């Protein structure tokens, strides 16, 4: 089983619809993110649109939370105990996990987006530290 423990940086975020067609990239293709997994099964993650300026009428996308996690080699589940969005506290955040060429790819559950479509994201992470 691949080792999660350490600090990872977001290197790519892609989004597709239910038919596999590419959608505009999350964070306008300029995402910044870090995720940390400790040996005692605590984790923290934050991701943000890293553009210096956001065009008028758009909102800067941000996501983050922390909590305890379980990992079985294919599925990561975090039980959130702290988050800027209070509705996440107490929730479970499941993610599919796979490793390719030393990178970790996390797949959140599909979510509904405007236009009656479903968005499927993949977030690719590179390990930058063992702690």
Q: Where are the domains of the chain?
A: 6-129
How many alpha carbons lie under 13 Å from residue 63 in its C-beta half-sphere? 16
Average pLDDT, the chain: 95
On the question of pLDDT at 2 being above 70, the answer is no
What is the pTM for the complete model shown? Answer: 0.92
Select 6-129's CATH number: 3.40.50.1950, 2.40.128.490, 2.40.128.20, 3.20.20.540.
Answer: 2.40.128.490
Q: Is pLDDT above 90 for 87?
A: yes
Which of 104, 88, 108 has the alpha carbon at shortest distance from 96? 108
Q: How confident is the model at residue 64 (pLDDT cuts 50, 70, 90)?
A: very high
- The set of residues, in sequence order, having a beta carbon less than 8 Å from that of 34 and lying 6+ positions away, is 7, 8, 9, 10, 45, 46
pLDDT attached to residue 1: 54
Contact yes or no for 65/83 (Cβ under 8 A): yes
Please state the rounded mean pLDDT for residues 54-78. Answer: 95
> pLDDT, tens digit, for every residue of 15-43?
999 999 999 999 989 999 999 999 999 99
Burial group, residue 27, by CB count within 10 angstroms (0-12, 13-18, 19+): buried
């Amino acid at each position: 089983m691949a080792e999660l423990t350490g600090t990872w940086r977001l290197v790519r975020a892609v989004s597709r619809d239910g038919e596999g067609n590419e959608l505009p990239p999350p964070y306008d293709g300029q995402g910044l993110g870090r995720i940390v997994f400790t040996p005692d099964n605590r984790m923290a993650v934050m991701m943000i649109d890293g553009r210096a300026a956001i065009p008028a009428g758009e909102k800067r996308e941000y996501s983050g939370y922390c909590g305890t996690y379980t990992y079985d080699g294919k599925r990561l589940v975090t039980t959130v105990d702290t988050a800027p969005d209070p509705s996440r506290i107490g929730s479970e955040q499941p993610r599919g996990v796979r490793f390719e060429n030393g990178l970790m790819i996390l797949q959140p559950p599909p979510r509904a987006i405007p236009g009656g479509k479903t968005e499927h994201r993949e977030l690719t992470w590179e390990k930058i530290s063992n702690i």
